[in-house]
Amino acid sequence: MGVRRRARESALQMLFQYDIAQPTLPELLTLFWEELTDEPKEDIQEFATALVTGVLAHLDEIDLLIRQRTEHWRISRMAVVDRNLLRLAVYEFLFEADTPKTVVINEALEIARRFSTYEATQFINGILDGIKRDLEENKISPPPESQSSVKTA
């Protein structure tokens, strides 16, 4: 498994932890990296931490884009894994321009196969494909930055 996939999986686990316990960002990062039994490669830790920090800093904007594509689904009613996979992928769509959107979708689906259900892969694929298409066709544009909802202290 590649470095970036392992980093994305670590980021998903941290976002899951954040979603459930709502720790501050420093607490989240410290708890997660100290709980790992294997010392992670520096590049895995660096990319995973950047993803989590970015997702949490732009959570409101990311959730807005997801809500626009999930008719009849409230984000709070989605499975925790699924909503956080969507958040990771949308963050990469918006703020990690060096990763092709198709690669981001494929990575999200591979991780969903490992951590979620078969039905979830279809759900995630449909939403991400729609957001990707909307961004490429300029039907939606990345929302302006808003106040972060991350607790930092």
pLDDT digits (tens, 9 = 90+) for 131-149: 999 998 887 666 555 434 4
Q: Specify the pTM.
A: 0.88
Residue 139 three-state SS: coil
Tell me, yes or no, whether 72 lies in a domain. Answer: yes
pLDDT digits (tens, 9 = 90+) for 64-89: 999 999 888 899 999 999 999 999 99
| Rounded Cα distance, 49 and 71, in Å | 31
Q: Give every CB contact of residue 50 below 8 A, 6+ residues apart in sequence.
A: none
Question: In sequence order, which ranges of the chain are alpha helices (DSSP H)?
Answer: 3-21, 25-35, 42-57, 59-69, 80-95, 101-115, 118-136
Query: How many domains does one find in the chain?
Result: 1
Task: Tell me the C-alpha distance between 90 and 67, whole Å.
Answer: 12
Instruction: Look up the domain containing 117 and give its range.
Output: 3-136
Question: What mean pLDDT comes out for the span 55-62?
Answer: 96
CATH number where 87 lies: 1.10.940.10
56 inside domain = yes
